[in-house]
Amino acid sequence: MPSVFETSPNAIPITFVTKSSWDQVAETLPPAQRQFATANGFAAKPGGYLALPAADGTISQVLFGLEDEAARSRDLFRPGALPGLLPSGIYRFANAPHDARLAALAFALGCYRFARYRKADRPDVRLVPPAGVDAAEISRIADAAMLARDLINTPSNDMGPEELAAAAQALASEFGASFACTIGEDLETNFPLIHAVGMASNRAPRLIDISWGDPGHPKVTLVGKGVCFDTGGLDLKPSSGMLIMKKDMGGAANVLALARMVMDAKLKVRLRVLIPAVENAVAGNAFRPLDIFTSRKGITVEIGNTDAEGRLVLADALALADEEKPDLLIDLGTLTGAARVALGPDLPPFYTNDETLAADVARCAAKENDPLWRMPLWPPYDAWLDSKTATITNAPSGGFAGSIICALFLQRFVENAKSWLHVDIYGWTPSAKPARPEGGECQAARAIYTLLSERYA
């Protein structure tokens, strides 16, 4: 996307105000503008907006309300509402918001529009980068986030396994990365779980494999769930549960966004990206409850529920990744409703047994306003995965600790990686917020990119 940042000596100032600072700011305004603000009832409420006219009728400055410093909670992306409010033009921050870097990022993210099927003009507004803010880095992050949003927002008829692979190949080509793809029946021997989940669809499943960077650098492998549509399989979802299942490849979309950031920043890593891309469909050859498959790792898996398919495709991909003994293995997936019940759509849980990694992830998530919350890989629950006829089941009976059980299932397929991080994302914003329009969302990728930047810049 074209850069939202531009320098100009005539940029229109945006003055951030809070309820506690408004009286002081109002005193600095010319009497006519102060009266204009009073007549329009401007009270510096969070999200409150007012363009003040100059004597010639142009915009003299913009007032925009933020939460007070002492507020119980502050939306650091509040300035992301501005692109949808401002007339065309170039703007600058006249004073400091709560966090100038995050405000600039929010401004860029707030310019996003999904316009593939319906005209949706991008706001014709640009921002002079705040002092000390790296505009190139902000643009890098925003562009990647918009890639994730576009991929998730695209409906499944235009975003099946083949189209997802094409998007991954285009990204690989852009940055000179290698690209390989194992398709259809070629998966059956070496990736039987991926094949089982995808075999009922007339759109062949595939395993996408991208490699980039100096082989001598630390190995970082990203694995993303790419279920391009999830009917639930023979354990069919109700229509309400299927409604936004185009987003079930959100893990893959966010892994590609993260890979874009890493490659564009030229981080000193040997990056590998693995995406099992499938459609969980219903047909006469669909995999069934109580079927048993031998995974790539040799673990036999009994199918307790065909709607717990994401962990199956991730398992084979994680097993492949683990064979290379990466320094850091990360998987992202839209995996469990249990995570949403526990933490809601905005706060994905993450799992790791690496205490240093856990602390770094939590810190970077807070720093980037990309919230994540650690959940435990609780060993006593591991026995719940036991099966009477196979090594493990993919979905034990009972509704307890669903997200933890999924994480424990995936842990069975990771033993050689030096560190492993699993994130159970939602990948969707149910109702619009500043900088976060309703629809597909980039989750966890910004926080993890910051972590990788700190370790491998």
Q: Name the residue with tokens 């917020």.
A: 433
Catalytic site residue from 311, 340, 412, 446 = 311
Catalytic site residue from 237, 363, 374, 455 = 237
Q: Which residues contact 99 (CB under 8 A, 6 or more apart)?
A: 76, 369
Residue 126 catalytic?
Answer: no
Residue 113 catalytic?
Answer: no
DSSP bridge partners of 301 = 293, 392
**Strand pairing report for 428-429 and 439-440:** antiparallel
Say if residues 413 and 295 touch (Cβ distance below 8 Å).
yes
Say if residues 141 and 446 touch (Cβ distance below 8 Å).
yes
Q: Would you name the residues annotated as active-site residues? A: 237, 311
